[in-house]
Structure 1
């Protein structure tokens, strides 16, 4: 194992540890405003039902398993880790930094951080060419799936975060939220469809559908059209995810499978 590989493995472990420990420490110390309090400052345009955030428990568990697995000698597929390793470290670091920025009420910092985190982990999965690797074992379940779940949730969270900040900053009039809310849902659904087809990780689409459905639940009462759009976006992404999962797998030019 060369120094670059060792450094990448250590960076992933450190970033995942940071991502998990920061919210835990905030909960224990009560420092700053919570993520819910941050969102309440500008959630008049678009919001997700509170239960949806329970997905973080699954995400953290998946990231912990991923961090351990990628550090084991000879386990994770080398080409896959060369593509997703550093981007996943950036995303993990960003998850922790977002908690700090939101606790300190640094609105625009949260936008920059969440977009950087989403872009990093998504780009890493796309660059890995997961569809061509033909992964069928642990590298799929302990690398691609946890990172796909994180990328999917961050895709939805980015849209909600941006609209929350724009509303809190007065760029969006809370009295006229319909157009920006529908635009946010539409753009999120379009991006999710494109990314889901590229990375072929079912957890990505499931996370996006989970988030959009939670938007539907939260908005159905106060803004029925926005709620319906959330449900429709969730249904479209879910159907695409199921279709991609059962579509015949392409021939792998690499002939690579897990050890």
Structure 2
């Protein structure tokens, strides 16, 4: 599944569908991140592959944490592959929302299991399991919100006071992320990736509407506060050894 999610985005080069970026541009909204934000997929794919290799090594066959993360991770990777394949062929429709929500639920399951893990992480667990899956969970949390807004536009649903509604959606996203960080002991990879997404929204929609810029800044403050409050519960040693 980790390999499949990397291969499906190249379908347009084989003459199947349109690039995801082109499909996204057709239904661009104020919440769509700036294009440079999507470069993070290179690191997310790398992290996915590192986890896939790590969990397959003989030394991890009896690793209790890895055992709890295998199936949620596989489900998320499969969801990413299906989402990319579908979106390139059909666009950012309501079906794409269903697919990305299913992938997100798999990642949130992994995130919860990481948060509930009481023993100290080993070095391998920290860098090759916790970091990549937490980062991917953060990105899909933001991407799901963006996908819902794009799907509404795809289906011709235009909201009154669109900038205000967009600002509220961004703020709600910040509240959700902050709550996840408090629950997840201040998970630094999650916080950093979500802040990356917010920065890209600020660089795009925030430059077009002041209310979106303000809500993005407020959401970022909430995320930082959630991370700090979460870290106070356990200290940095949980994440940095």
TM-score, structure 2 normalization = 0.89
Segment drifting more, 178-187 vs 232-241 = 232-241
Unmatched tracts of structure 1, length 5 or more: 1-14, 253-257
- In the other structure, the counterpart of 1:38 is 23
Q: Is the 8 A contact 2:175 2:222 kept in 1?
A: no
- Tell whether the 8 Å contact from 2:2 to 2:74 is kept in structure 1 after alignment: yes
Normalised to the residue count of structure 1, the TM-score between the two structures is 0.83
2:193 aligned with 1:207, yes or no?
Answer: yes
1:183-198 correspondence to structure 2 within 5 Å: 183-198=168-183
1:97 is the counterpart of 2:78? no
Q: CA separation of 1:30/1:246 partners in 2, compared to 1, >3 Å: closer, same or farther? A: farther
Q: Cα distance, 1:156 vs. partner? A: 0.4
Instruction: Report if aligned partners of 1:94, 1:113 keep a CA contact under 8 Å in 2.
Output: yes
Residue 74 of structure 1 deviates from its aligned partner by 2.1
Q: CA deviation at 1:176?
A: 3.2
Could you say which residue in structure 2 is the equivalent of 1:12? none
Displacement of 1:234 after TM fit?
2.2
Residue in 2 that maps onto 1:19: 5
Contact 1:220 1:227 in 2 (8 A): yes
Residue 139 of structure 2 contacts residue 194 of structure 2 at CA under 8 Å; is this kept in 1?
yes
CA distance, structure 2, for counterparts of residue 160 and residue 129 of structure 1: 25
* 8 Å Cα contact 1:83-1:125 kept in structure 2: no
* Structure 1 stretch displaced more, 152-161 or 67-76: 67-76
RMSD value, Cα = 2.4
When structure 1 is superposed on structure 2, of 229-238 and 140-149 the one drifting more is 229-238
In structure 2, how many angstroms separate the alpha carbons of the residues matched to 1:144 and 1:128? 7
**Matched residue, 2:97:** 111
Query: Match for residue 143 of structure 1?
Result: 129
Task: State how many pairs are aligned.
Answer: 237
Q: Is the 2:51–2:128 contact (alpha carbons within 8 Å) kept by the matching residues of 1?
A: yes
Find the counterpart in structure 1 of residue 230 from structure 2.
Answer: 244
Deviation at 1:188, TM superposition (A): 1.1
Partner SS for 2:118: helix
Corresponding position of 2:57? 72
Aligned to 1:227: 213
Distance 1:49 1:152 in 2: 17
Q: Is the contact made by 2:164 and 2:211 (CA closer than 8 Å) also made in structure 1?
A: no
Instruction: Measure how far apart 1:28 and its partner are.
Output: 3.1
